Amino acid sequence: MGYEYIGITVLWVFLYGYLIVASVDFGAGFFAYYARRTNKDHIMNKLISRYLSPVWEVTNVFFVFFFVGLVGFFPDMAYYFGQALLIPGSIAIVLMAIRGSFYAFESYGSKNNSVFMFLYGATGLLIPASLSTALTISEGGFLNVTDDGVRLQITELLLSPYSWSVVLLAIVSVLYISSMFLSYYAHKAGDKDALSLLRKYALFWSIPTIIASMTVFIAMSQHNPEHFDKLFDYWWVFGLSVLFYLIAVFLVYSEKLYGFAFIAVMLQFFFAFFGYGVSKLPYLLYPHVTISESVTPDAMGLALVVAFIGGLLLLIPSLVMLMRMFLFDADYIKGNK
């Protein structure tokens, strides 16, 4: 197996990790704001801040890891995406910057400022929408590549049904993943009021999630038929994804096994995300960049893989420590610490 496969696997795993942890974070921001507007914040916001405070920075690093790794393993991506994404990329940066810093301002500085809360909630939905355009663009058809450089065709992007279906999917899955996780967390914390509210959100958002997923499939068949055909080669992967979706919704509906329900959600997205990724290979960017042509020279590939293994040996024990301190420490969750 060449470095291109190791590289893309590592990156995809981290992007998947980011998808899950960031969705929890983004969605929580939205729910916190929503609860405030509907005067339910006393029920939920303490719970949310107890989970989010210790981990938001770690979430951000997942993202940094992904894009630094992408340019490391596939330097050509810097050339194509760098030129094309100047505007959407900058907007995403600005939103993330506002979100991260205002979160810190609000939770360590001036408590309960409603402007901060609004920014925090709104960016939670806008960031996934803007980041998802990077995936949309990688399906091809939105770039104009000439000797003068690479240009993004913004009007075409804005008029494309495929592009909008992806945005929609991104937003609703954020809310779905997040409410599923927070239900589990509320359950662990023994917070009955928060649980009953969050459970309702979770069930509610499960419906648009499945609809939006189907819409993306349909839009893909119009936009990139080649990729659409290959999706069908992996139909069983998507079948598993739907299966886990049903399990998750069923468990939450019957108020049982919230932990397993969230694991099922993670598996649902795992299969969907990897099914999408595998069927897209060897392309990183239709039709300009493939993994085998753009991969970094072997010497660098080897160095990156070695660094990665070393890094994991350092990280995994530390992450386990963090989770045991905050996520799985019953006393902490319940607010006794």
Partner 1 sequence: MIELDSVMLSRMLTAMTLIFHIIFATVGVGVPVMISIAELIGIKKKDKYYSLMAKRWARGFTIIVAVGVVTGTAIGLQLSLLWPSFMQLAGKVIALPLFMETFAFFFEAIFLGAYLYTWDRFKNPMTHWWLSIPIIIGGTLSAFFITTVNAFMNTPAGFDVEDGVINAINPLAAMFNPATPTKVFHMVSSAYMTSAAILATIAAVTYLVKRDQEYAKRALKLTVTATLVFSISTAVAGDLSAKFLAEHQPEKLAAGEWHFETEEGADLVLFGTLNDDNEITGEIRLPKALSFLAYGNFDAEVTGLDKIPDDEEPPLFIHYFFDLMVSIGMFVLLVSGLYVLMTYVKKWNPHNKLMLWALTTIGPLSMLAIEFGWVYAEIGRHPWIMRGFMKVAEGATTSPNVGAMFLLFFLLYFVLGIGTLVVLRKMFKDHPAEVELEHLYTEVGKGGER
The SS3 assignment for 145 reads: strand
- Residue 153 touches partner 1, criterion: CB under 8 A: no
- Residue 60 touches ligand HEM, criterion: CB under 6 A: yes
Contact pick of 102, 176, 270, 286 for partner 1 (by CB under 8 A): 102
- Residue 243 touches ligand HEM, criterion: CB under 6 A: no
Q: How far, rounded to the nearest angstrom, does the alpha carbon of residue 17 sit from its chain's CA centroid?
A: 7
What string marks each residue from 107 to 146 as x (binds partner 1 by CB under 8 A) or -? Answer: -xxx------------------------------------
CB-nearer residue toward ligand HEM: 7 or 72: 72
- Residue 305 touches ligand HEM, criterion: CB under 6 A: no
Report residue 289: phi and psi, to 5°: -125, 125
Beta bridge partners of 152: 143
- Residue 55 touches partner 1, criterion: CB under 8 A: yes
Contact pick of 28, 32, 48, 96 for partner 1 (by CB under 8 A): 96
Instruction: Please name the residue ranges forming H helices in the chain.
Output: 3-37, 41-73, 76-84, 86-104, 114-138, 154-159, 161-189, 192-223, 225-233, 235-253, 258-280, 291-294, 298-322, 330-333
How many residues line the site for partner 1 (CB under 8 A)? 67
Round to whole Å and give the CA distance between 260 and 252.
Answer: 9
Which one of partner 1, ligand HEM, none is in contact with 87 (Cβ closer than 5 to 8 A by kind)?
partner 1
Round to whole Å and give the CA distance between 214 and 261.
Answer: 22
Neighbours of 239 (CB within 10 A): 11
Contact pick of 159, 207, 246, 319 for partner 1 (by CB under 8 A): 319
- Residue 93 touches ligand HEM, criterion: CB under 6 A: no
DSSP string covering 158-202, please? HH-HHHHHHHHHHHHHHHHHHHHHHHHHHHHHT-HHHHHHHHHHH
Stretch that binds ligand HEM, among 60-68, 120-128, 186-194, 213-221 (CB under 6 A): 60-68
56 Cβ contact list (under 8 Å, min separation 6)? 25, 100, 103
Using CB under 8 A, list all residues that contact partner 1. 53-55, 57-58, 60-61, 63-65, 67-69, 71-73, 75-76, 78-83, 85-87, 89-94, 96-98, 100-105, 108-110, 148-149, 151, 296-297, 299-300, 303-304, 307-308, 310-311, 314-315, 318-319, 321-322, 325-326, 337
Residues contributing to the site for ligand HEM (CB under 6 A) = 57, 60-61, 64
